[in-house]
């Protein structure tokens, strides 16, 4: 018998699919990038399992409880060398999709990362602004920028070719790949993770529940993970084009303010960012923050608005999303719910849910394989 799996939340969906052709019943709780990616990999890995995705929000929705549609989304490594598995393992697949699968809505884009010496005490050791980053070996064309390529007020920088994902295309594409692999999608709001056991479309109890509920895991009964916290991200989406992505290590404005841009593939507009505001749950865009975001971008790159300043920007939408941050890092682990049911958690990806999506979903598959090996006779 193949196992029955239910995925709660879109992100876990890809993991569940992997398990689906082997009499395993999986429930995936979530339709974010983590659930969908998990489900897709599961569907490829496990033949014959029944995979159901149950989620409150699905691709096409825009809601403060659903981070994935708001993301830029690009691949700008944020991890330390030691913690780089998720991003390292994701890059080759995003690169392959960009080269070979145009309908996924991803394109290559030159990235320029600028460092200010005054930010380096905090930013200079780890992540995107590291002075000696682990990812210089990941990108074929990584190089340090020359002094004459720097933005005013910055001291050093690096450049490489990365990708930008149009999430409005990519999330429905992932959903379509899952449907093609036999995954069944259902709307549902769970008060307790235990409810997922009864939500498989087969009518049989789920053997494994994939929990990819993002920030929702903070209040989901049976999980209630107090280590989760929102990092508020306000953005402006404009019709103007800026073919080079840019990120700067700091600004002269408020401590939570950032400066970054990325142009989405296939006419998706350009995202202007942003903020990184820990523990702020506010869902409404703040007009003062929006003005600061736009002003910083036109000052750094006047060409985006043909030199006309903020007035030269053509706004499609103002937006706010909450990055699902987890103190202590992402939670990817298995847990026994009762004698016949297991949970595999995959949540807490903060600002790197896309760029770590395939690496994390791969780990979900490993954990499902481990559970199946332990209870071979049943699954």
> HEC states along the chain?
CCEEEEEEECECHHHHHHCCEEEEEEEEEECCHHHHHHHHHHHHHCEEEEEEEEECCCCCCCECCECHHHCCCECCCCCCCCCCHHHHHHHHHHHHHHHHCHHHCEEEEEEEEEECHHHHHHHCCCHHHCCCCHHHHCCCCCEECCHHHCCCCCCEEEEEEEEEECHHHHHHHHHHHHHHCCCEEEECCCCEHHHHHHCCCCCCCCCEEEECCHHHHHCCECCCCCCEEEEEEEEEEECCCCCCEEEECCCCCCCCEEEEEEECCCCCCEEEEEECEECCCCCCCCHHHHHHHHHHHHHHCHHHHCCCHHHHCCEEEEEEEEEEEECCCCEEEEEEEECCEEEEEEECCCCCCCCCHHHHHHHHHHHHHHHHHHCCCCC
Could you say which of 67, 175, 208, 305 contacts ligand FAD (CB under 6 A)? 67
Could you say which of 4, 15, 23, 34 contacts ligand FAD (CB under 6 A)? 34
Does residue 212 belong to the site contacting ligand FAD (CB under 6 A)? yes
Residue 188 or 205 with smaller CB distance to ligand FAD: 188
In whole angstroms, the minimum distance from the beta carbon of 246 to ligand FAD comes to 13
Could you say which of 73, 209, 223, 305 contacts ligand FAD (CB under 6 A)? 73
Does residue 325 belong to the site contacting ligand FAD (CB under 6 A)? no
Stretch that binds ligand FAD, among 100-108, 184-192, 242-250, 279-287 (CB under 6 A): 184-192
In whole angstroms, the minimum distance from the beta carbon of 257 to ligand FAD comes to 14
Could you say which of 183, 220, 223, 228 contacts ligand FAD (CB under 6 A)? 220
Q: Which among 333, 340, 82 is positioned nearest to 223, based on CA atoms?
A: 333
Does residue 8 belong to the site contacting ligand FAD (CB under 6 A)? yes
In whole angstroms, the minimum distance from the beta carbon of 99 to ligand FAD comes to 19
Could you say which of 77, 105, 159, 353 contacts ligand FAD (CB under 6 A)? 353
Q: Number of residues interacting with ligand FAD: please give it, by CB under 6 A.
A: 44
In whole angstroms, the minimum distance from the beta carbon of 14 to ligand FAD comes to 10
Stretch that binds ligand FAD, among 40-48, 63-71, 106-114, 131-139 (CB under 6 A): 63-71
Does residue 66 belong to the site contacting ligand FAD (CB under 6 A)? yes
Does residue 16 belong to the site contacting ligand FAD (CB under 6 A)? no
Residue 283 or 306 with smaller CB distance to ligand FAD: 283
Does residue 331 belong to the site contacting ligand FAD (CB under 6 A)? no
CA dihedral 329, 332, 333, 334 (to 10 degrees): 140
Does residue 162 belong to the site contacting ligand FAD (CB under 6 A)? no
Q: Residue 47: exposed, middle, or buried by beta-carbon count in 10 A (0-12, 13-18, 19+)?
A: middle
Could you say which of 56, 218, 292, 331 contacts ligand FAD (CB under 6 A)? 56
Name 324's bridge partners.
230
Does residue 57 belong to the site contacting ligand FAD (CB under 6 A)? yes
Does residue 199 belong to the site contacting ligand FAD (CB under 6 A)? no
Does residue 233 belong to the site contacting ligand FAD (CB under 6 A)? yes
Could you say which of 6, 7, 17, 31 contacts ligand FAD (CB under 6 A)? 31
Q: Which residues bind ligand FAD (CB under 6 A)?
A: 8-11, 29-35, 55-57, 66-68, 70-74, 188-190, 212-216, 220, 233, 235, 321, 323-324, 347, 349-355
């Amino acid at each position: 018998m193949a196992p029955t799996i239910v995925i709660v939340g879109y992100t876990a969906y890809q993991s569940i699919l992997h398990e689906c052709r082997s009499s395993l019943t999986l429930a995936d709780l979530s339709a974010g990038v983590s659930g969908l990616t998990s489900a897709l990999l599961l569907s490829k890995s496990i033949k014959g399992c029944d995979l159901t995705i149950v989620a409150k929000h699905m691709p096409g929705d825009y809601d403060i409880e659903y981070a994935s549609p708001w993301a830029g989304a690009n691949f700008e490594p944020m991890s330390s060398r030691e913690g780089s598995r998720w991003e390292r393992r994701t890059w080759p697949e995003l690169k392959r999709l960009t080269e070979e699968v145009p309908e996924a809505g991803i394109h290559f884009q030159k990235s320029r990362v600028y460092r200010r010496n005054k930010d380096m005490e905090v930013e200079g050791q780890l992540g995107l602004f590291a002075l000696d980053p682990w990812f210089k070996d990941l990108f074929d064309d990584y190089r340090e920028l020359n002094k004459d390529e720097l933005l005013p007020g910055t001291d050093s920088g690096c450049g490489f070719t990365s990708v930008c994902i149009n999430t409005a295309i990519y999330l429905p594409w992932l959903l379509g790949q899952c449907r093609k692999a036999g995954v069944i999608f259902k709307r549902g709001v769970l008060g307790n993770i235990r409810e997922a056991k009864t939500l498989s479309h087969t009518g049989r109890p789920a053997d494994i529940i994939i929990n990819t509920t993002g920030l929702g895991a903070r209040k989901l009964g049976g999980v209630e993970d107090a280590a989760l916290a929102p990092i508020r991200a306000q953005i402006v989406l404009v019709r103007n084009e800026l073919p080079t992505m840019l990120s700067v290590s700091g600004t002269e404005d408020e401590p939570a303010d950032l400066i970054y841009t990325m142009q989405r593939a296939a006419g998706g507009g350009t995202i202007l960012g942003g903020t990184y505001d820990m523990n702020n749950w506010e869902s409404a865009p703040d007009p003062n923050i929006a003005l600061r975001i736009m002003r910083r971008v036109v000052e750094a790159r006047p060409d985006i608005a043909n030199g006309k300043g903020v007035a030269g920007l053509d706004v499609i939408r103002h937006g706010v999303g909450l990055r699902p941050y987890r103190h202590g890092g992402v939670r990817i682990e298995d847990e026994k719910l009762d004698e016949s049911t297991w949970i595999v958690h995959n949540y807490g990806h903060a600002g790197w849910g896309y760029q770590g999506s395939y690496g994390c979903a791969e780990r979900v598959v490993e954990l499902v394989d481990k559970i199946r090996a332990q209870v071979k006779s049943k699954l």
